[in-house]
Amino acid sequence: MNAPHPVPHPALRPALYSQHHLHKVALQSKDYKDNVNPFWCPGCGHHGVLTSLLRALSEVGVDPNYLVNVSGIGCSSRLPYFVKSYKMHTLHGRAGPVATGLQLARPDLAVVVTGGDGDGFSIGGGHMPHLARKNVNVTYVLMDNHVYGLTKCQASPTSRREMKTVTTPYGGVEEPLDPVLYMLTYGASYVAQSYAANAKLTTRLIKEGMEHKGFAFINVLSHCPTFNEAEDAKHFKAASDEVAPEHDVTDLDAAMHVVNMANRAGRIPTGLLYKVERPTLDESMAALVDQVGGRRDYDLRQIIDLSRP
C-alpha cells in the first residue's frame, strides 16, 4: 500500500472533527486483498465473510489509506491480516474500546471491527453494550460460529445447548445469547444479520453498515466445519428467513418482534432488522467541547482547567 498519511497537525484537526464523509477511491475487490493468504481451515465460513467484506469495501470505494481494521483474538480476528488496510490486532475482547478511541481521535477514518462470538460476547462482553449505547461510528462484523475455534472447541456464549464441546461434553447447560437481540436492546443504531454463504446479502449489509452514520452491527453466521459440524453452511441457509420487504427498519418493537418470533420457531432472521439515525459519540463530544467553550483541537488540559472553580 502507499506511504501512510501523516497524522494531521493539530491546527488542522478542527476540520476533521465530526466529519463522517469517507475518503473514496475506485478499486476492485481484489485490490483490497492484502498479500497474506488466509490460513483458515478449508471450508471455513470466514473465507466467505472475507470475500463479502472485500466486495463491500470496493462497492463503498473506501480509500485503504483511510481504512483501519481492528480485531481481538480468535480465528476470525485474524481477518485484518488479509485486508489492505491499517490493522490493529489487539487483545482478546478489546477490539471495541480500541476502535472507540481510534474513531474519536480520527473521525475521518473508516473503522471496521471484525471478530468472533467468544471474543465479542464473552471476553469482550462488557464492552459491547457501550459501543451500542454510545453510538460509536464504527462497523462491527461479528463472525458467529457458536464455538471457540482457535482454542479448539470450547463452548461460547452463542453455543446451542445440544452442542457438545470440550467444555460441555454432555451438551450445554446454559441458554445461548442472541447477538442481534442483545444489540437491539442496548441501542445499536444499525443491526443486521446474514450467513457466510450468502455473499450477496452479507456484502450489502456490510456496505450499508459502513455507509451508516453510527454503530453498525452485522452478525454473520459463519460455519466452523472443524469444530461445529452440525451447523454447517447448508444448515444456516436452510434455517434462515430473510426479513419481509415491508418490515419497518425504524421500528424497534417490530425488529424485536421479528427476532423473538424467529427464535421461538427455531429460525434465523436475516437482513436489515433495524436502522435509525441519532448523534454519534464523536458528534456529541464535539458539541460538548463547543458548549464548554473549549477548542476542538483536543487540548484536554484546557478543557479540564475550564471545569475548575
Query: Which residues in this chain contact ligand SF4 in the complex, by CB under 6 A?
Result: 40-41, 44, 46, 75, 145, 149, 224-227
Q: Residue 103 binds which entry of ligand SF4, Mg ion, none, with Cβ cut-offs from 5 to 8 Å by kind? A: none
Q: Residue 263 binds which entry of Mg ion, ligand SF4, none, with Cβ cut-offs from 5 to 8 Å by kind? A: none
Nearer to ligand SF4, 40 or 140 (CB): 40
Q: How far is the CB of 228 from ligand SF4 (least distance, A)?
A: 7
Q: Residue 44 binds which entry of ligand SF4, Mg ion, none, with Cβ cut-offs from 5 to 8 Å by kind? A: ligand SF4
DSSP three-state, residue 7: coil
Nearer to ligand SF4, 49 or 268 (CB): 49
- Contact partners, residue 26, CB within 8 Å, separation at least 6: 61
Q: Residue 41 binds which entry of ligand SF4, Mg ion, none, with Cβ cut-offs from 5 to 8 Å by kind? A: ligand SF4
Nearer to ligand SF4, 19 or 167 (CB): 167
Nearer to ligand SF4, 44 or 141 (CB): 44
Q: How far is the CB of 260 from Mg ion (least distance, A)?
A: 24
Nearer to ligand SF4, 224 or 273 (CB): 224
In this structure, the number of other CB atoms found within 10 A of the CB of residue 7 comes to 10
Q: How far is the CB of 51 from Mg ion (least distance, A)?
A: 19
Q: How far is the CB of 48 from ligand SF4 (least distance, A)?
A: 11
Query: Residue 104's closest CA among 288, 243, 274, 263?
Result: 288
Nearer to Mg ion, 64 or 74 (CB): 74
Distance CA 175, CA 224 (A): 20
Q: How far is the CB of 115 from ligand SF4 (least distance, A)?
A: 12
Q: Are strands 268-275 and 190-195 parallel, antiparallel or unpaired?
A: antiparallel
Q: Residue 40 binds which entry of Mg ion, ligand SF4, none, with Cβ cut-offs from 5 to 8 Å by kind? A: ligand SF4
Distance CA 160, CA 201 (A): 24
Nearer to ligand SF4, 43 or 171 (CB): 43
In this structure, the number of other CB atoms found within 10 A of the CB of residue 176 comes to 18
Q: How far is the CB of 190 from Mg ion (least distance, A)?
A: 22
Q: Residue 32 binds which entry of Mg ion, ligand SF4, none, with Cβ cut-offs from 5 to 8 Å by kind? A: none
- Does residue 297 come out as left (phi exceeding 0), alpha (psi in the -120 to 50 range) or beta? alpha
Query: Residue 56's closest CA among 275, 284, 230, 209?
Result: 209
- Beta-bridge mates of residue 116: 143
Q: Residue 97 binds which entry of Mg ion, ligand SF4, none, with Cβ cut-offs from 5 to 8 Å by kind? A: none
Q: How far is the CB of 195 from ligand SF4 (least distance, A)?
A: 14
Query: Residue 209's closest CA among 186, 195, 190?
Result: 190
Distance CA 288, CA 290 (A): 5
Q: How far is the CB of 39 from ligand SF4 (least distance, A)?
A: 8
Q: Are strands 139-144 and 216-221 parallel, antiparallel or unpaired?
A: parallel
Distance CA 216, CA 294 (A): 30
- Identify the burial level of 56 via C-beta atoms within 10 angstroms of its C-beta, where 0-12 means exposed, 13-18 middle and 19 or more buried: buried
Footprint on this chain of Mg ion (rule: CB under 5 A): 116-117, 145
Q: Residue 117 binds which entry of ligand SF4, Mg ion, none, with Cβ cut-offs from 5 to 8 Å by kind? A: Mg ion
Q: What's the full length of the chain, in residues? A: 309
DSSP 8-state assignment for residue 75: S
Nearer to ligand SF4, 66 or 121 (CB): 121
